[in-house]
């Protein structure tokens, strides 16, 4: 089932581990949804404060750089707001504190769709190992979606002290899933995704190479070579 079958989503919450994760994993889909009028918020658990080989770089300075890069990238996609939780990069675990923070974001934004990463994926074939922060944010987000954000006696202080009512997100899109179930045509938005990734200057040394690889990897194998279509894939969970 796709978002077209359900009608266009109105509110979307993307929950990721690092600045640049939303753009790399689902940027073209976010751009497509934004162009269709959806209100999108990103929650980024860390500020990417470990992602540099520069011997002169500090974690504090890098966090500032990467937060600014993410704000600019999200703006390119049409995202309304980016919330940084500022957990330590490389040290993320699906703790109760992290689940609480994600639950708060869900109750604040009341999304129709929550997008996050696959908590079960440890590797990519024989060519790569998944970042542990990616698994951690996926696990914490799924736990926040169900049952925590839905049931009022979970973190009752949010209702009592912050006025945040419970919320049941109807659909979860898992990006980077080993077994995707939904394909989204992003032919019209992939260049917006690439433009957003150009904002992550601290992380991408070869911008043109990145762009070419992204275009190649996203080609729909079922589209004719003379008219290639681009796609992003997700595992979708419907909670109705």
Residue-wise pLDDT for 210-240, tens only, equals 999 999 999 999 999 899 999 999 999 999 7
Q: What single-letter DSSP state applies at residue 131?
A: -
Res 129 pLDDT > 80: yes
pLDDT value, residue 7: 63
Res 3 pLDDT > 60: no
The CA distance from 113 to 91, in Å, is 27
Mean pLDDT of 101-129: 97
Residue 124 CB neighbour total at 10 angstroms: 11
pLDDT value, residue 240: 77
Q: Please write the tens of the pLDDT for every residue from 161-191.
A: 999 999 999 999 999 999 999 999 999 999 9
pLDDT value, residue 2: 39
Res 52 pLDDT > 90: yes
User: What are the structural domains of the chain?
Assistant: 10-238 (3.40.50.10320)
pLDDT value, residue 5: 41
The CA distance from 44 to 30, in Å, is 15
> Phi-psi category of 84—alpha, beta or left, where left has phi over 0 and alpha has psi -120 to 50?
beta
The CA distance from 157 to 150, in Å, is 14
> Quick one: how far is CA 226 from the chain centroid?
31
132 closest CA partner among 179, 94, 174: 94
Residue 6's contacts (CB-CB under 8 Å, 6 or more residues apart) are 170, 171
């Amino acid at each position: 089932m796709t978002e077209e079958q359900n009608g266009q989503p109105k509110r979307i919450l993307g929950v990721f581990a690092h600045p640049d994760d939303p753009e790399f994993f689902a940027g073209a889909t976010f751009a497509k949804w934004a162009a269709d009028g959806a209100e999108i918020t990103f929650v980024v658990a860390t500020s990417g404060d470990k992602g540099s080989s520069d011997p002169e770089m500090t974690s504090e300075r890098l966090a500032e750089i990467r937060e600014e890069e993410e704000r600019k990238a999200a703006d390119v996609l049409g995202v309304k707001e980016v919330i940084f939780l500022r957990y330590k990069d490389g040290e993320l675990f699906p703790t109760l504190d992290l689940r609480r923070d994600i639950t708060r974001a869900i109750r604040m934004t009341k999304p129709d769709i929550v997008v996050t990463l696959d908590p079960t994926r440890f590797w990519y074939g024989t060519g790569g190992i998944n970042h542990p922060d990616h698994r951690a944010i996926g696990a914490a987000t799924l736990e926040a979606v169900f049952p925590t954000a839905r049931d009022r006696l979970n973190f009752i202080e949010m209702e009592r002290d912050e006025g945040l009512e419970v919320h049941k997100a109807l659909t979860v899109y898992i990006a980077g899933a080993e077994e995707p179930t939904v394909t989204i045509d992003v032919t019209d938005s992939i260049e917006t995704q690439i433009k957003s990734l150009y904002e992550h200057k601290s992380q991408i040394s070869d911008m043109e190479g990145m762009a070419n690889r992204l275009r190649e990897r996203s080609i729909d194998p079922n589209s004719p070579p003379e008219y290639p279509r681009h796609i992003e894939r997700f595992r979708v969970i419907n909670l109705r």
